[in-house]
Chains A and B, each alone.
Chain A
Amino acid sequence: MSDLTEADAHIVVVGAGQAGLQAAETLRAGGFEGRVTLVGSEPHAPYHRPPLSKGWLSEALDARQLAIRDVSALERKNIDLRVASHVAEIDANARAVRLQDDSRIAYSGLVLATGATPRMLGNAAPADGTICALRSREDASAIAKGLRNCLQARLPLVVIGGGFIGLEVAASARKLGADVVVLEAAPRLLQRALSRELSDWYARLHASHGVTLVLDARIDKVETSGSTAQVRLIDGRRWEAGLVLVGVGIIPNDELARRAGIACDNGIIVDACSRTSIAGIVAAGDCTVCRLPDGSMRRLESVQSAVEQGRAAAYTLLGMEKPFTGTPWFWSDQYDAKLQIAGLSRSADRSVARGDMAGKSFSIFHYAVDRLVAVDSINAARDHVIARQLIGVGVSPTIDQVSDISFDLGRLRPA
């Protein structure tokens, strides 16, 4: 695709979140001199989403601090940002996108970074103010308002779903003084992401901060009346809530791609270079699912993945192969606990703690047979960074080395 380095080339990026922004900036960093248009459906320049459940809820951050870039910085990079714009259709044959206002933009390369939408419960609509989900700045502002309602009416925040979003909001709400009830359908918190021992650790952490946790919770009904909501479980337990937060996962926004004939399977299917099934169209971030060399599919919902896929997508359009093959990593801040995850623990059959799980700082090393596959660290940043490097190069410390905190794991890194 050497024609893309011509000055008359035009790359359109659909979606102005972390992945889309990264793709646009990487095009410039990679020497692309043609036009770059970044189309975002939200009315804002690209902003950081992780603080929405923390600093933004407690109003410790202003909008400019939340921004990843000022608009002026994008202008300097000659990236044309169009906010509040919706792409309605991709015409892959004509190489053009049609916007909702019926204008068309011809492209020589297309990046899809359309993100994801929170999953909602069958009978709960997010728009009515007392039932919320968290994805956007507007969502976070609605939650902040709902929390004020909780405090004023002396009603709890009821969180449906004990995943990262729900638990981070629960921690922020406790800090603000609201009562919090967390209802989780699974027998433990964070079941998809964490091992049982760490799930239990988080359950104790939240309980110690006064959160009411209900595991194996089967929701019967969520209803609203006026400025309150009622949540009822099948077993008859019920809560009157000042705000209900639904945090039960996200659905990739792949509809635009599907309608254009791009192969999708719970997300736009991409390879490690972010290529889709149509040449000249790449995709990155939460809207994607990655087909691994062994044929299996992997969805990574993380900032790191969005950044690295965005970068790979841009390089692919520039004719350079820079596949995303790094060690997945993720973090979550709740109360004073900073969790950092390196690698994926799903395949693990054995776990070893490094440090004291009753203390404030420790890590859990996960092995599949004798191979280190993942490390979960609580307030142990150095363990985390070393783990990322060790997993990345396929070096596995022995169980004895891990359990001996006087042993410097950094020594195992290749020079």
Chain B
Amino acid sequence: MVQITFVEPAGAEVAVDATEGWSLMQAAVANGVDGIVAECGGSCVCATCHVYVDETRLAALPAPGEIELELLEEVKAERRPNSRLSCQITATPELAGLVVTIPPCQT
């Protein structure tokens, strides 16, 4: 289990034990975290699981793939340098304690 903290749009911090190998999106939706829509269920087509990753740990994450980068250009909320799609980030022990913030809107 990898502990990830999601900051919901309303400001609440929800710490979730994510199963290793799952995506952060899966961990968030399975635990009912608010603000992640994930319409496509993790197929990397809808850009509705956008999150801002703690900037100090951004470098620890594998770089986004081409499709993720294309979709990130189209997220509804402001795109920032630390914007990622949570369906494309796999929970690994290196990410323990990571804090991700969910933007105010996804659709």
Contacts and interface: CB of A to CB of B under 8 A. Distances in A.
A329 to B, nearest CB: 8
Contact of B74 (A70, A304, A307, A386): A386
Interface string B8-42: 00000000000100100010011110100101111
B47 interface: yes
Interface string B37-81: 101111111110000000000000000000100110110000000
A333 B19 CA distance: 25
A69 B40 contact: no
A383 to B, nearest CB: 9
A384 B45 contact: yes
A382 B73 contact: yes
A76 B19 CA distance: 20
A67 interface: yes
Contacts of A303: 39-41
A70 B39 contact: no
Nearest to A382: B70
A382 B71 contact: yes
Interface string A215-243: 00000000000000000000000000000
Contacts, number: 66
Contacts of B71: 381-382, 385
A382 B41 CA distance: 19
A379 B71 CA distance: 12
* Residue of A50, A380, A389 with highest tally of chain B CB at under 10 A: A50
A51 interface: yes
B31 A50 contact: no
A75 to B, nearest CB: 9
A338 interface: yes
B77 to A, nearest CB: 14
B45 A381 contact: yes
Contacts of B26: 65
Contacts of A333: 43
B73 A69 contact: no
B30 A331 contact: no
Contact of B41 (A51, A70, A385): A51
A177 interface: no
A47 to B, nearest CB: 9
Contacts of B40: 50, 303, 331
A331 B45 contact: yes
Interface string A39-55: 00000000010110000
10 tightest A-B contacts by CB?
A73-B32, A385-B74, A382-B70, A48-B41, A381-B70, A331-B45, A381-B67, A70-B30, A381-B71, A307-B39
Interface of A: 29, 48, 50-51, 64-65, 67-70, 72-74, 76-77, 303-304, 307, 331, 333, 338, 340, 379-382, 384-386, 389, 410
11 contacts: A67-B30, A70-B30, A74-B32, A76-B32, A307-B39, A331-B43, A338-B44, A381-B67, A381-B70, A381-B71, A385-B73
